Amino acid sequence: MKLKKLIDDTPMSNYQIMVVFLCFVLNMNDGMDVLVVSYTGPEIIAEWGLSKALMGWIFSMGLIGMTLGSFFLAPFGDKIGRRKLFIIALVLNTVGMLSVYFVNSYPQMLALRFITGLGIGGILPTMAAITSEYSNNASRDFNVGLIQGGWPLGAILTGFFAAWAVPEFGWRFAYLFAGSVSLLMLVAVYFLMPESIDFLANQKDDRKMDKIKSLLVRMNKGEHAAAVELEPETEKEPEHSRNINLKKVMSLDLKPSTLRLWLAIFFGFLTLYTLMSWVPGIAKDSGMPFEMATYAGMMLNLGALMGVIAMSYFANRVGPKKTILVFLLTAFCIMLLYANVALTHVIMFILIFFIGFFVQGGFNTLFPIATRVYPTSIRSTGVGLAMGIGRFGAILGPLLFGVLSDWQLSIETLFTIFSVPLVIAAIMAYSIPSKNLD
């Protein structure tokens, strides 16, 4: 039996479920590391006397690091292996987060957010790739979508912690907590995370079949290990090269799908990261105390968590393209509603929940879409490059929102402006021509 067919057609073992769960927790850790800035933003502004544009640079500097991490770290997952890349990225993540506890200047904060972003940018696309590779065909879209729920769950837990710890111990303590979790994840990955079985199959290594058979035994597929065969094209795969993989991503067959995927991720990120970064600050500016404003950010992420779970279900039932179209167009309508109704605190919390549900749920459909667009041999490169290109939208969004806020544009006008990219993202994703999405 062919190796890919064996994994695709047989039930998932407890070992495979453990790998998916570990990726879920890794994503939860990344959600903590990114959203801690959103929760502590009002306190940082108050301590250092920053304008919203300068605070926007703190948001965006982490996203610049994430972009470069997606460009330059993630593709190494196709060369040195997924597991080694996780370890390198988590070291950067941990150092960047723990060091913020000792920061005492704005430039230091910018530098450390950049380092943290590099690590996160390396982890995210690689995590989607290894989840896809350890999932069978029946649950692949569900699993790749579901692990994205770790992000808002990490953000919710960080919100609870920040609401209690920041008033008691100061905003730096929240980074110490998040950095400690990153350190624990580094230890967990070192001891528990296996190498990608598809990556091993693509290596010119005399012992690769022994390694693959050992993994198959752990996956309760040992009875097939002796007879398993690699795909002929996998055996002949040349030595991984970043330049070769980049050319494959932009090949004649993949280019139409790649360009639409890039545009969808760019515009999706633009709105998503604007909301994730600024919602607690918007709530605080509306007159809420720090703790309640933090809960507004948590409500956004609670909606996101529920949205990711719902998206995973529907992507597996009706396909990711229909799912993303419905979710993002609904999110567009809800953001317009937010901009055009009188907002009591209760109505604000309800609308924020549904914005998180449909924006994050819809956007995260792009992960199972991306993993299906690219074949195994270039999956980390393809997904990493797409996320890297898209993160220019993530960089632009929070910074642009801060600048426009300093220009005294109303929240109603800002929400109307930042709802439009969701429509563009939905149309681009729905029009991706890859046959693997049909």
DSSP 312-372: HHHHHHH-HHHHHHHHHHHHHHHHHHHHHS---HHHHHHHHHHHHHHHHHHHHTHHHHHHH
Residue 244 confidence (pLDDT):
58
Write down the mean pLDDT value for the chain. 87
Residue 252 confidence (pLDDT):
60
The backbone torsions φ and ψ at residue 229, rounded to the nearest 5 degrees and listed phi first, read -125, 145
Residue 245 confidence (pLDDT):
61
Nearest-angstrom CA–CA distance, 163 and 234: 51
Residue 28 near residue 151 (C-beta atoms within 8 A) = yes
| Mean pLDDT within 406-419 | 92
CATH number of the domain to which 367 belongs: 1.20.1250.20
For the cut 60, the answer to whether the pLDDT of residue 236 exceeds it is no
Read off the pLDDT of residues 21-52 as tens digits, 9 standing for 90 and up: 999 999 998 889 888 998 999 999 999 999 99
Q: Does residue 360 lie within any of the structural domains? A: yes
Q: Does residue 76 lie within any of the structural domains? A: yes
pTM: 0.76
For the cut 70, the answer to whether the pLDDT of residue 238 exceeds it is no
Residue 292 confidence (pLDDT):
87
| Domain count across the chain | 1
Nearest-angstrom CA–CA distance, 277 and 414: 14
Q: What's the domain range around 322? A: 3-433
Read off the pLDDT of residues 376-400 as tens digits, 9 standing for 90 and up: 777 767 877 887 788 889 889 999 9
Q: Does residue 135 lie within any of the structural domains? A: yes
| Residue, of 16 and 74, whose pLDDT is higher | 16
The backbone torsions φ and ψ at residue 24, rounded to the nearest 5 degrees and listed phi first, read -60, -45
Read off the pLDDT of residues 187-234 as tens digits, 9 standing for 90 and up: 999 999 998 887 888 777 778 888 888 888 899 887 766 667 776 544
Q: Does residue 438 lie within any of the structural domains? A: no
List of residues 6+ apart from 172 with CB closer than 8 A: 100, 101, 102, 103
Residue 111's pLDDT band (boundaries 50, 70, 90)?
Answer: very high
Q: Does residue 261 lie within any of the structural domains? A: yes
Residue 165 confidence (pLDDT):
92
| Closest listed residue to residue 242, CA positions, set 78, 384, 368, 99 | 78
Residue 43 confidence (pLDDT):
93
Q: Does residue 31 lie within any of the structural domains? A: yes
Phi-psi region of 49 (alpha: psi -120 to 50; beta: other; left: phi over 0): left
Question: Helices 255-285 and 420-430 sit at what angle, rounded to 10 degrees?
Answer: 160
Fill in the amino acid letter for 329.
L
Q: Does residue 418 lie within any of the structural domains? A: yes
Residue 232 confidence (pLDDT):
54
Residue 78 confidence (pLDDT):
77
The backbone torsions φ and ψ at residue 431, rounded to the nearest 5 degrees and listed phi first, read -95, 5
